[in-house]
Amino acid sequence: MMKKLRLLTLLAATAVLPMTMLAQATASVHGHVQNAAGLPLTTGQVKLTTDKTAEPKDRKFKNTFDIDANGDYKGKDIAPGDYLMIVIQGDKNVDYMEATFKAGDDKTVDFDMTRKEYIDKMSPEDRKALEEYKKRASETINTNKVIANLNAALKGVSADLASANPNYDQDITTMQQATTQKPDEAVLWLNLAQAQAAKADHFSKAAGKTWNTDDSIVKTYNDALVSYKKGIEVNAAAKKPNPGDQGIAWNAIGNISAKLGKLDEAQAAYDSAVKIAPTSAGLVYGNEAAVLFNAGHGDEAAVAADKAIAADPTKPMPYYIKGQSLISKATVDKNGKYVTPPGCIEAYQKFLELDPNNPLAPEVKAILTGMGETITTKYKAPGAKK
């Protein structure tokens, strides 16, 4: 009796093995789904059913696999058999394929809705909608390619202008081509202007002058002015104008106009920059003072320095520029004592108070001591709180 029981137990254990093997005998599938326009279908599911002849509402699906953002899908644990594979988006059957799976299969089943038989089955309305969609998609793809190329051009020009030996002419040509491709993009005009201004600055410096009457340099500066103004115009017409770009452009126009001696235009440009970004008044007017001073316009530089000081009394350089602009008007009285314009000595003193370690400090100290002045730090800026 004991032997029979052991035999029965052995037989029962043996009978389990084939069942385990059958459970592993499945198939897998993977593939790509693209719509009738040839673009990846990025949402939806691929479902498998053996109810090939049933009404769509009565079908039962044995497997469901999601389509990813690249238009790809994959799945496993498919029981061997003949299937109808259906691409479904929401409650709409988009496409279908028939496929037979055997145990161990790993099949590739792609859904290409650009195939002739799929297009031929479309209604006239759907075909018209498809053509319009393909046209829009093509335009979008082409636009994206143009934008990608323009971004590459911007990056290349920016890197070159920051290099030790920029190729100014090539940078200008690159940006001119860019503005031709997309004339409604303000940043392209502003970068063209930057390249033109950089070229003019380089050759102006090489000539040993901040601004001059060299025809070619003046022309390049004027070209930059035209480009900056075009950038401002395009930016203002955009759906979402960028005030920051507007302010930068007006500040640059002020710099160039000052270098060319167009002082009224320079002042108007700087005022426009401040109007757009009032918090930048100290920086903009300080920049105006420096550009005018370097261009040899001392009186105008002193006025700009006062505006910079009023906007931000904590910055030292406007005081230095004011002092330097006024010192040239110093005279000597009958007793041999220096007489300086009002505010000159005070501006120098405030400069030293704010930035005593500035590389220009020894020069200022020498000027003051040379005029018999005692260096103090008691000066208060106009409008400053007591």
337-351 pLDDT, tens digit per residue, is: 888 899 999 999 999
The answer to whether 309 and 320 have CB atoms below 8 angstroms apart is no
What pLDDT, on a 0 to 100 scale, did the predictor assign at position 57?
85
pLDDT at residue 213 greater than cutoff 80: no
Closest CA to 74 of 82, 65, 85: 65
- pLDDT band at residue 69 using 50, 70 and 90 as cut-offs: very high
- For residue 139, which amino acid is it? E
Mean pLDDT of 123-133: 85
pLDDT at residue 156 greater than cutoff 50: yes
Percent of the chain with pLDDT over 90: 64
How is residue 231 written in tokens?
């950038």
Cα(298)–Cα(302) distance, integer angstroms? 6
Q: Please report the sign of the dihedral spanned by the C-alpha atoms of residue 120, residue 126, residue 127, residue 130.
A: negative
The pairing of strands 27-34 and 111-112 is parallel
The DSSP line for 148-188 is HHHHHHHHHHHHHHTSSS--HHHHHHHHHHHHHH-TT-HHH
138-155 pLDDT, tens digit per residue, is: 766 776 787 888 899 999
What pLDDT, on a 0 to 100 scale, did the predictor assign at position 47?
96
Mean pLDDT of 354-363: 94
- pLDDT band at residue 132 using 50, 70 and 90 as cut-offs: confident
**Higher-scoring residue by pLDDT: 11, 269:** 269
Give me the domains of the chain, ranges plus CATH numbers: 25-120 (2.60.40.1120), 133-276 (1.25.40.10)
What pLDDT, on a 0 to 100 scale, did the predictor assign at position 1?
43
Cα(249)–Cα(266) distance, integer angstroms? 12
Q: Please report the sign of the dihedral spanned by the C-alpha atoms of residue 288, residue 290, residue 292, residue 295.
A: negative
288-320 pLDDT, tens digit per residue, is: 999 899 888 899 999 999 999 999 999 999 999
- pLDDT band at residue 8 using 50, 70 and 90 as cut-offs: very low
Sequence-ordered list of residues with C-beta below 8 angstroms from that of 217, at least 6 positions apart, any chain: 200, 203, 204, 207
Cα–Cα–Cα angle for 205, 206, 212, nearest 5°?
60
- pLDDT band at residue 378 using 50, 70 and 90 as cut-offs: low
pLDDT at residue 22 greater than cutoff 70: no
DSSP tag of 40: B
Cα(345)–Cα(352) distance, integer angstroms? 11
The top-scoring range by mean pLDDT among 20-29, 127-136, 346-355 is: 346-355
The answer to whether 198 and 168 have CB atoms below 8 angstroms apart is yes
215-233 pLDDT, tens digit per residue, is: 889 999 999 999 999 999 9
The pairing of strands 338-339 and 331-332 is antiparallel
Closest CA to 328 of 293, 352, 358: 293
Least confident of 1-5, 322-326, 372-376: 1-5
How is residue 358 written in tokens?
């500035």
Annotate 61-79 with three-state secondary structure: EEEEEECCCCCEEEEEEEC
pLDDT at residue 65 greater than cutoff 90: yes
**Higher-scoring residue by pLDDT: 157, 295:** 157
What pLDDT, on a 0 to 100 scale, did the predictor assign at position 172?
96
Q: Please report the sign of the dihedral spanned by the C-alpha atoms of residue 37, residue 38, residue 42, residue 44.
A: positive
What pLDDT, on a 0 to 100 scale, did the predictor assign at position 24?
58
Cα(282)–Cα(278) distance, integer angstroms? 9
The DSSP line for 96-112 is EEEEEE-TT-EEE--EE
Other Cβ atoms less than 10 A from the Cβ of 234: the count is 21
314-332 pLDDT, tens digit per residue, is: 999 999 999 999 998 988 8
The backbone torsions φ and ψ at residue 384, rounded to the nearest 5 degrees and listed phi first, read -75, 150
